[in-house]
Amino acid sequence: MDIERAAARDQAAFRRVYLATADRTHRLARWLLGTSDVDDVVQEVYVRVWDRLPELREPAAFGGWLRQVAVSVILRERERAARRESRDGGSRYLGGVPDSGASQVGLRLDLERAIARLPAQARQVFVLYHVEGRPHLEVGELLGISHHTSRSQLHRARALLKAYLKDGASNEAS
């Protein structure tokens, strides 16, 4: 019901939609970008969603549609940031997930930190494949790499994550 109301330009309904979905969108941006300004990108996602919501034919498909829009906006920002980085010679990429984004301790935080430590491409492949459920062909297309590279980066990511989590566990134990 909120989706239809938001599509009819009801901001209160859109706020509820935003609050119900923002955690997931924020995590997606955090994991894909690993930047310090994830909040801005998330805002951009919802501006686009607001603008295009009237075009959504099936409100029931909103979840998948939102993620399509989010991935599109986030990866576009990734490309822009990469261009800025190569032009300016500097980097806003921290290669890490801000601690404030991970509100809970324990295994979840360990995984957040471990994912933040991954090399950018391996992290993006892991997130698109495992969190977004995209097939390798699509992951490759989205990231501008071959599906073979996507596969090898996924296995690298998983092996690294396993090692990072083991490191974290042994550090805490010592």
Catalog residues that contact another protein under the rule CB under 8 A.
7-9, 11, 14-15, 18-19, 22-24, 26-27, 39, 42-43, 46-47, 50-57, 61, 64-65, 68-69, 72, 76, 80, 100-104, 107-108, 111-112, 115, 126-127, 130-131, 135, 137-138, 141-142, 151, 154-156, 158-159, 161-163, 165
Minimum distance, C-beta of residue 23 to another protein, in the bound complex (Å): 5
Q: What is the Cα–Cα distance from 128 to 32, expressed in whole angstroms?
A: 8
Nearer to another protein, 93 or 158 (CB): 158
- Angle, alpha carbons 148-152-153 (nearest 5°): 115
What is the dihedral angle through the alpha carbons of 124, 114, 101, 122, rounded to the nearest 10 degrees? -10
And the tokens for 171? 């550090």
Minimum distance, C-beta of residue 34 to another protein, in the bound complex (Å): 15
Nearer to another protein, 90 or 133 (CB): 133
Alpha helices in the chain (DSSP H): 2-7, 11-33, 38-52, 62-88, 107-117, 120-126, 136-143, 147-173
Nearer to another protein, 33 or 127 (CB): 127
